[in-house]
Amino acid sequence: MVTKKRNWISQTLERFSFKATKATGTSTAFILALTVILVWITTGPVFNFSDTWQLVINTGTTIVTFLMVFLIQRTQNKDALAIHLKLNEIVAALEGASNRLIDVEDLTEEEIRTLHTHYQKLVDMAKKDLKLTMSHSVEEAEARHNIKHSKHRHKAS
């Protein structure tokens, strides 16, 4: 029973979040916000630029900003997850791609730094390749690099 209720709440919030984020990202929403600010500014002399007059806009914008942060974050979380899944599918499907990058977003910062260092080797080796269009996994790149350099050493001897 609790699971169904949470699921319904989650689905309702997701729909609302999607619609609200989509609506607030339009030119109409911007014009509406700009109109509110212009009305507020023009009413300043009527209210003698009082503390209450300033408090109205401060409170209103604070509330809207506070709520929008959560709406936008929810939408970005969903978008990011969808992008990660698509990228995981591409990595898993490509022959020669390193599967260690699947779900890389779940690694710790230290693990990501280690992978970055590992892939930096690929960049360094690619710079040494004669063909700029060659690409390979780190393992292939290291193996080709070692073979290439062992051939150069034998020729130099």
User: How far does Cα 127 stand from its chain's mean position?
Assistant: 29
- Residues 76, 127 share a domain: no
The distance in angstroms from the start CA to the end CA of the chain is 78
Has residue 50 been placed in a domain?
yes
> What is the domain extent for residue 142?
107-157
Q: How many residues does the chain have?
A: 157
pLDDT in the model for residue 17: 87
- Residues 150, 111 share a domain: yes
The rounded distance, in Å, linking the Cα atoms of 74 and 78 is 6
- Residues 88, 17 share a domain: yes
Q: Which two tokens stand for residue 11?
A: 């689905």
- Residues 132, 87 share a domain: no
- Residues 71, 127 share a domain: no
Q: Over range 111-124, report the average pLDDT.
A: 86
Q: Scan for tokens 């977003």, then name that residue.
A: 105
Q: Which two tokens stand for residue 127?
A: 């710079």
pTM of the model: 0.60
Q: What is the pLDDT of residues 90-99, one digit of tens each?
A: 988 888 777 7
- Residues 54, 10 share a domain: yes
How many Cα neighbours within 13 Å face the side chain of 45? 2
- Residues 93, 30 share a domain: yes
- Residues 130, 88 share a domain: no
Has residue 157 been placed in a domain?
yes
The rounded distance, in Å, linking the Cα atoms of 114 and 6 is 39
- Residues 91, 19 share a domain: yes
- Residues 127, 71 share a domain: no
- Residues 18, 73 share a domain: yes
Has residue 102 been placed in a domain?
no
Where a domain ends, among 49, 71, 97? 97
Q: What is the pLDDT of residues 11-59, one digit of tens each?
A: 898 888 889 989 999 999 999 999 999 999 999 999 999 999 999 999 9
Domain count, the chain: 2
